[in-house]
Chain A
Amino acid sequence: MHTDSRSPTPSYPLADLCVLADLPLRTVRYYVQIGLVDRPMGETRAARYGATQLEQLLLIKKWTAAGLSLERIRELLRGEQAPVPPRARAIGSVEVHSHLMVADGVDVVIEPGRAGLSPEQVRQFIQGVMAAYARVNGGGVTPPPNAKDKQ
């Protein structure tokens, strides 16, 4: 946000800010806590909020009313550009998915083209997944196919 250009900042206590934005105190404090609204100047009772925070609150209010999620609002407040929506897959386009079997009944489906992964990265990823599976499955419920011991 461009706050530098604003010079004599009006300063309100939290309660006044809530009245101005017409939002419950708890909700405003929640927005501050999760970092959607800038933290105040000063401590505890002496904390003061300015026009920046009021502006942020009004934007959040407008956007939540329009159905945006708080995560999306966070991005917008940071001034991020709306990402280009991924193009719908063209009808008739061919996609190759790798089904990598981790264990019986556990598959990982990867389309390396869309995921932007190199074969090395895929290998690394799948090794990690298999290691994680082995850890979870520690007791050896499904022994590898050529394991000799039968429990």
Chain B
Amino acid sequence: MDLQEGARLATRDGESVSLLGVKLSGDLRGLLFEATVEQRFVNPYDHNVEVVYSFPLPWGAVLLGVEVVLGDKRLTGAVIEKKQAEARYEEALSDGNAAIMLEKNHDHSYSLNLGNLAAREHCTITLRYAQTLQFEHHGLRLLIPTVIAPRYGDAQRDGGLLPHQSPRHSLTADHPFALELALHGALAQARVASPSHPVSVAHGHRDQGSVLTVGLARRESLDRDFVLVLDQLPHAGLALAAHDGDRVAVLASFCPRIAAQGAATTAVKILVDCSGSMAGDSIAAAQRALQAIVRQLGNGDRFSLSRFGSTTEHRARGLWKATETTKLAAQRWVGALAADLGGTEMEAALASTFSLAQTVSSDILLVTDGEISAIDSTIAAARDSGHRLFIVGIGSSPAETHLRRLAEATGGACDFVAPGEAVEPAVLRMAARLRSLRLCGLRLEWPAGVAPEWVSPLRPSVFDGDTVNVFAVLQQMPQGALRLLGRRSSDGTPLEIGAATFAKQLETGDTLARMAASVHFHSVADDGMGNPSAEAIRLAVDYQLVTATTNFLLVHERANGEKPSDMPMLHQVDQMLAAGWGGTGSVSFSRSFAGHVGSALASAALPGDISVPAVWRTSRKSGHQDLTDRDSDLQIPAFLRKVTDQAPTYIRQRAQILNRQDRRYWAESEHYAGMTPLGVCEWLRLTPAAEWPSTYAGLLELGLGAWLVDWLELVVAGHGGAMHAEPNVVAAFLHLMHLPDTHAVLAQPEGMRRLCKAATLRLRAAWAGDPAAQADGIAPALLDAMAAALDGMTASAWPNQVFALGGEVEEEIGTAS
């Protein structure tokens, strides 16, 4: 019997569901968020099963406790070293006992293993976690991930997951989700909104003051991250302390104020994810974000535009200066973005973008959903490049952990935009960070007499208005204020950019101490050789932290008569498909939708398995349309119509130029796709002037690259402050390309051409004094300017000036082939 098949079919009948629902309740006090997640499972079968459920927790969340109710028994386990836990789990299963193990996966998600649930047995797992939040420009964004969206790449080979941990996805899975949050103290007065879910909000009072309760207004499912945005909050530095055994654990939180010195400029390379998973809501949000980014570019700023999927395409060959022309070209480019580039080869795309204009110090602005498996190698490559990565995470369930790690490793920052959420705040924050001063030599100044035993490492960069959290372990309760200092340049004087005063009283509970231990764990986790260090394991076990090197384990011995005799059947809980993922419906319609999708779809004829989305299975086809494909279109010009063998020679030669197969006439690289100069020249020689195109659209239809036409339209047409009419610009361009001298230069073999620079000079001379052009009514100044810009073109490549759009290219890389 095919057991996996069996399990899968069983979940589709609408009854045999193993995950009954998830309920989250949370308390937000200051910057500390504490949550309790209750996951209810049942074994729907008549035999024993092993249920495996992989789920995400927020970035930086510290798992504090696991409680298990198996049947009607309340049980507790312990955190032990990973290998030991795995061995004891296997042992328990082969002995017929029940075992529950929670492990932290390589991609920072968690997998819960419920080994040997007896037939029809219920099990409730209650997880407790805490995280510190960070203010971003007087706002707070609470993000609770609920689902792992499908990722590009192999989860095992690229993502380092074991087979049983790899998430599987189903369009018919439906796991109910309930949520209740309480906002305490000053936060109860904040303005709150959820861009992800309709929420109900109620003010109330509890024993310690006012409380704002936030709940879900409707029945919801685990198919999108819960986002709560709080703004209009005052924030000042704050330091908390709590007992940590015989010592004191400290959390200091700064809100640095960094005065800007004049209007800072920025050099930013914009890179957009156009893979299939971005289709639908995500690409629309990305476009809105990018339009806002382009709008705020000003004088002195420089930028480039690139997009990626399976391949990478660069709009500019270097960095453009921000001018009206380049910004207009950028807005056109953004408007035309589509999620049509297939897979998500992020590492290759970043490498290709890093290599643009290398001599200029620049940052990267990456817009993506982050859904890739191969994140580790991507982070390593980005860290080595010396670029800071500023990331705008898009989608209803972006890979938060991946993107935060990537931004943090490079000294950049990360912001998220949910579908339907206004993009401007995130974009403005990002723009401010890009322009923010780079401070160096960050350090802490402790009150006199305080010598911390351990302090968490400071992040390499701080930004105006963004929180910096620091954990430390001290010998005794500190008094006074802790100061954060930084320097504007390596020899500048240290400036105070933030201060935090210690609270008078110690906090109760062990949460703070264990969170400090978790941060401590991560700073010593590696012994430098990729192995977990002994100190890290000791910390994790002492403080009972579920980490990469420790698992939570609970073994429940079953009575002899209840022990199953065979290996449990495997039941992996399918992830719901993240809402709107890859264009599967639009989240904006969820608001008015009242039905139950899951139950209605379960019986409908749907494709059996969407765990490998179609966009990943298909290999990308080049964007070209074959000549013969156009047969059905009656609108096509004569020169594009089908060519038979009986056609005259010149017609067949023209067809060869236009069929886009011949590399001499057709270029396709990451910098340009379209006809080459030689292709245009040869085509003009074979075609009577009456059939030449006279509009920009006609040039595009002929096969000239869109970016070349942009240049004609945006730069050449406005040359010298005059507005040249469209037919004149097109005619001038074609005229130049058609000159016998142009052909003489282009038709020479590439190697030869380098030797005779004289030929180029001759060409310009011929262009300049051409009487025929004047007869056509083309302004000589226009011809001159165009000739100057086209100087340096080769048979296969247009010159770089064409792509610079008048904004000077800072550095030119190899010409497109």
Could you tell me the distance in whole angstroms from the C-beta of B539 to the nearest C-beta in chain A?
A: 25
CB–CB B90/A132 < 8 A: no
- In the complex the two chains form, what is the Cα distance from A24 to B160 in whole Å? 14
Interface SS of A by simple majority: helix
Tell me whether A33 is interfacial, beta carbon within 8 Å.
yes
For residue A70, which residues in chain B have a CB less than 8 angstroms away from its CB? 163
Could you tell me which A residues sit within 8 Å of B by CB distance? 14, 24-27, 29-35, 39-40, 43-45, 47, 64, 67, 69-70, 91-92, 125, 128-129, 132, 135-139, 141
Judging by beta carbons under 8 Å apart, are B597 and A27 in contact?
A: no
Q: Provide the B84-109 mask, 1 if CB < 8 A to any CB of A, else 0.
A: 00110010011110000000000000
Chain A residues with CB below 8 A from B556, complex form: none
Tell me if A91 and B601 are in contact (CB < 8 A).
no
Residue interface bits B587-602, CB-to-A below 8 A is 1, else 0: 0000010110100110
State in angstroms the CA–CA spacing of A34 and B628 once bound together: 48
Whether, in the assembled complex, B605 has its beta carbon less than 8 Å from a beta carbon of chain A, the answer is: yes
| A26/B162 in contact, CB under 8 A | yes
A143 to B124, CA, bound (A): 44
Are B163 and A132 in contact, with the CB atoms below 8 A? no
> B726 near A: Cβ within 8 Å?
no
| Complex CA–CA separation, A65 to B2 (angstroms) | 23
CB pair B605–A92 under 8 Å, yes or no, is no
A67 to B155, CA, bound (A): 12
Note all chain A residues with C-beta closer than 8 A to B459: none
Contact residues in A for B95 (Cβ distance below 8 Å)? 44-45
Residues of B with C-beta under 8 A to A91: 626, 628
- Write the chain B residue with the least CB distance to A34: B4
- Picked from B3, B162, B626, the residue with its CB within 8 Å of the CB of A92 is B626
Choose, from B177-185, B422-430, B562-570, B752-760, the stretch at the interface: B562-570
A129, B628: Cβ atoms closer than 8 Å: no
Q: B567's contact among A24, A47, A125, by CB below 8 Å, is which?
A: A47
Residues in chain B within 8 A of chain A (CB atoms):
1-4, 50, 86-87, 90, 93-96, 154, 156-157, 162-164, 563-570, 592, 594-595, 597, 600-601, 603-605, 612, 626, 628-629
Cβ B567 vs Cβ A39 within 8 A: yes
Provided the pairs A25-B90, A92-B629 are in contact, do residues A44 and B565 lie with their beta carbons within 8 angstroms? yes
Closest A-chain residue to B3, C-beta based? A35
Quote the shortest CB–CB distance from B220 to chain A (angstroms). 18
In the bound assembly, the distance between CA atoms of A135 and B606 in angstroms comes to 14
**Are B3 and A45 within 8 A (Cβ)?**
no
Top 3 nearest A-B pairs by Cβ distance?
A: A132-B604, A33-B570, A92-B628
With CB as the reference atom, state the residue of chain B lying closest to A64: B156
Partner of A128 from the list B157, B592, B604 (CB cut-off 8 Å) is B604
Question: Which of chain B's residues has its CB closest to A45's CB?
Answer: B94
Are A128's CB and B594's CB within 8 A?
no
Can you spell out 15 A-B residue pairs with CB atoms less than 8 angstroms apart? A25-B86, A26-B90, A30-B570, A33-B50, A33-B570, A34-B3, A44-B94, A44-B566, A47-B567, A64-B157, A67-B157, A92-B626, A136-B597, A136-B601, A141-B592
A31 CB contacts on chain B under 8 angstroms:
163
- In addition to A34-B570, A47-B567, 5 A-B residue pairs with Cβ atoms within 8 Å of each other are A35-B1, A35-B3, A43-B566, A44-B95, A128-B605
* Complex Cα spacing A43 to B4, Å: 21
Tell me if A14 and B156 are in contact (CB < 8 A).
no
* Distance in angstroms between the alpha carbons of A125 and B731 in the assembled complex: 54
B3, B87, B96, B154: the one contacting A33 at CB < 8 Å is: B3
Contact yes or no, A35 B2, CB < 8 A: yes
B605, A132: Cβ atoms closer than 8 Å: yes
Which residues from chain A contact B565 at a C-beta distance below 8 Å? 43-44
